[in-house]
Structure 1
Amino acid sequence: MMKKFLLLSALFALAALSQAGELLSPEQWKHECRPERKLSTVKIAGDGTVRFRRFAGAEFARLYQDVELERGAYYSLTYAQRTEHGALDKLLVIFRGADGKWREKSRLTDVTPLVNGEWTAGKLVFQVPPDVNLARIDFRLDSAGTVELKDIMLEKLDPADGKAYLDSLRPAPFQPGRNSGDLAVKSDSYQVIAFAAQGGENGGKVTVEFHDPERGWINRSLLTFFVPAGTKKEFREVTLIPENVNGLRFTAAGCEIDGLKLAELEIK
């Protein structure tokens, strides 16, 4: 009897958890495309899957929905996406202030690698600013192609859980020599980044962050390398190191890095 009671309790807990989030209505999605709106299309399948297509010749295309949020609250935004032929997209969350202006400069970004023919899951957790009660959920299609989106869910989190999750994402201190992904680098120089990466079952990515000795990790300073599923790929990239940067951090997700090297490139 006790085992049966525990099982029922677990099932009720799972049911409550599944109802805690709210699926965004497929019918509420809008799309914008430049220079002409007809260069993108949106179709909704019977199961609610949204199919967003950008045609050749489009310079900008997005699928978006505005949602009301509680000021200062924590939210989790989850979704699944798929492409058949290598489309590139990203998720943005843009807040609107009390003055009615959209805060493009402080927007949040989530880039989840797309794997041809397979559904991949994305997740973004954020806290709403205290003077904001409206956000734009914005999927940008950055290349010609088609992306399918489903199960787009917005869930309000317990404040303690939301804060703990975001705290866990804060980067560790820069420690070259102790952290294998942290490399010291000469400021104001050109550097050749070279490495190989073996993609996992669902592919992966390698991100590179820039470190400022006074301000710490610089927001929005990522380089991203995408690694195909089940494939070993070699990368070589030349990048300019700003005068306020003294280090780089390499982070692998869904792949393994091998033979990471930095070499200064002399420009004559």
Structure 2
Amino acid sequence: MAETTINKESRIDNGLFSNEIMLDINQLTKIYPTPKGDYVVLDDLDLKVKREEFISIIGHSGCGKSTLLTMIAGLNEISRGTIVADNTTVTGPGPDRGVIFQSPSLLPWLSAYDNVMLGVKQVFAHGTKKDRDDIVKYYLAKVGLEDAMFKKAKDLSQGMQQRVGIARAFALKPKVLLLDEPFGMLDSLTRGELQDVLVEVWNQEKITAIMITHDVDESILLADRVIMMTSGPRAKVGDILEIDFERPRNRAELIEHPDYYKYREHLINFLEH
């Protein structure tokens, strides 16, 4: 039925309709000039991400994962190719793309509440004061900081600071959420707790998400697809693994699932070759 009602020209090359795609990356290339000649980090990389999809990107250090993410964010100039987010070509940073970095980069003298409010005031400048207050408090509560939202950032633990970073990103209501190893600096217990927080909030918001990680298990827990990058230079997409687990996902149940270790073996084998 869909074929008869939608113009076939709107279908793109991987069998999806263009209105199903939130992020369309075509022939993306990043070149850094050096005294010895051009260094090509990414070379003609193609990737399409569906609306409300969560993908993770893994690969060896130096393969250009963070470069790709910062280009999507509009923080890194594109040498060649295009990035289209929600049918709009990316030419620079914007509130439609939220970023959670490894370090949340909070203003230490401000409270958790005020750190989140800084962005909310800009994005929802035309909203009422109560509306903005409700948004900030809602997301801080969602990440477990209901009782600590008025503590200064410098008085919060590293894990709590990253919770603020997660709350801030979701509160801005971006169309695409970009996560650059957000749990990489945390101990394993805190990492697991924040993975669960991220999953819970994402399940409710269903924002298209792209996450860089070195953690194979984290990829399987969080992602609908895992994008495997080839080693640099001239990195591109080497393989894509569909993670066919229903949502919401439970960590303990996933580990008991027979497919879990098949996925894990596939990813490890890719990284080892």
TM-score normalised to the size of structure 1?
0.28
Structure (1/2) with the larger strand percentage:
1
More helix, by proportion = 2
- Under a length normalisation based on structure 2, what TM-score does the superposition of the two structures give? 0.28
Higher relative contact order (CA 8 A, sep 6+): 2
Q: State which structure, 1 or 2, has the greater radius of gyration over its C-alpha atoms.
A: 1
